[in-house]
Amino acid sequence: MHGHAAGLRRLDGLIWALVALVAVLVLTVSAARGFTVEFRSFAAPGLTCLLLVLGARFYRDRRNEPKLASALESTAQIMAFAAVAAPLSYVAASLGLPLQDAMFDSLDRALGLNWRSMLAFIERWPEFSSFLRVMYLSLTVQMTAVVLLLGFTGRLPWLRVYMLAFVFATLTTIALSTVLPAEGVWLHYGLKGDALPVSHTSWPVFLGLRDGSYRLIVAIGAEGIITFPSLHAALAVILMAALWPIPVARWLSVGINMLMLAATPIDGSHYFVDVLAGIAIAVASLAAARTMVARWTEPFRSAASSELAMVSPETVTPAR
């Protein structure tokens, strides 16, 4: 299993390299764009990540417990990447390229999809609307829960697929949102009222980034400002795929994330094409991550491929 473990280490190294690359990019471009970086906001997540990595090294090198070590290190990777990816989206939005809301709205109409009709339906069922909001807000809890479930059940190659797909999808959505920015359906339609979506707290930040009045980089409390493509939609698909190898969690994940997808147009202020694009990005990110993991975990490619193909995953022997 030495070669298998070495492959997993290489994949972890790649993930950390991507985190570092994004951090350097944020620092470089934010300085050029006149941002102020609130470094103190990075202290708590930074210290937490350090403790998690030290714990992972201890359980991998001293205790030979790869499941626990992988769960700890992947949790640190999620925290670290989230702390630098959100600032990257801020820097991207500050470029202020022309808004594309009219195009996205037209694409929805061309597909026969009516956002206002969906809003009217949701508003007739306030209890259901509140339930969908809870599903929409479940993303952070799900992201961490998947790491723990995959780690402790020994799906270690698949855990790296999940991590890499998360990174790939996030970077792709940020890149596309840079060149195709949009303010979102609620602002585009000029809708107001008491029942605003979850995403309404991001509107002043997004508009401030575009007009230059907001120039602050923080690690904790950053708002999600991406409209096209929908990162929520992409991560819903990735979460469903991540837990598919675990029979007891498979259908629960499908149910929760299908509801999260349903909540995304309203609570995320997304056009339907945002959601469709997010789903496509998720599929592509999963395919790229799966191919990379299968190649890098030689000489156990056959075992990894069986697990990655999600065919009788319970028969795959976990790495020890």
48 to 17, 76, 83: CA distances (angstroms): 19, 7, 12
pLDDT per residue, tens digit, the chain (320 aa), is 455 688 889 999 999 999 999 999 999 999 999 999 999 989 999 999 999 999 999 999 899 899 999 999 999 999 999 999 999 999 999 999 999 999 999 999 999 999 999 999 988 888 898 999 999 999 999 999 999 999 999 999 999 999 999 999 999 999 999 999 999 999 999 987 667 888 888 999 999 999 999 999 998 778 889 999 999 999 999 999 999 999 889 999 999 999 999 999 999 999 999 999 999 999 999 999 999 998 887 644 544 444 444 433 333 333 33
Burial classification of residue 155, based on how many CB atoms lie within 10 Å of its CB (0-12 exposed, 13-18 middle, 19 or more buried): buried
Q: Which of 101, 88, 106 is nearest to 178 (CA)?
A: 88
Write out the DSSP string of 86-108.
HHHHHHHHTT-PPP-HHHHHHHH
DSSP conformation class of 40: G
User: What global pTM score does this model have?
Assistant: 0.90
Q: Which of 94, 77, 25, 36 is nearest to 218 (CA)?
A: 36
Phi and psi at residue 216, in whole multiples of 5°?
Answer: -125, 130
CA gap 266, 77 in Å, rounded = 30
Helical ranges in the chain per DSSP H: 2-32, 43-57, 66-93, 101-110, 115-123, 126-136, 139-152, 156-179, 185-189, 203-211, 231-243, 247-267, 272-296, 301-308
Q: How many residues are listed for the chain in this entry?
A: 320
CA gap 278, 169 in Å, rounded = 8
Q: 61: helix, coil or strand?
A: helix
Burial classification of residue 2, based on how many CB atoms lie within 10 Å of its CB (0-12 exposed, 13-18 middle, 19 or more buried): exposed
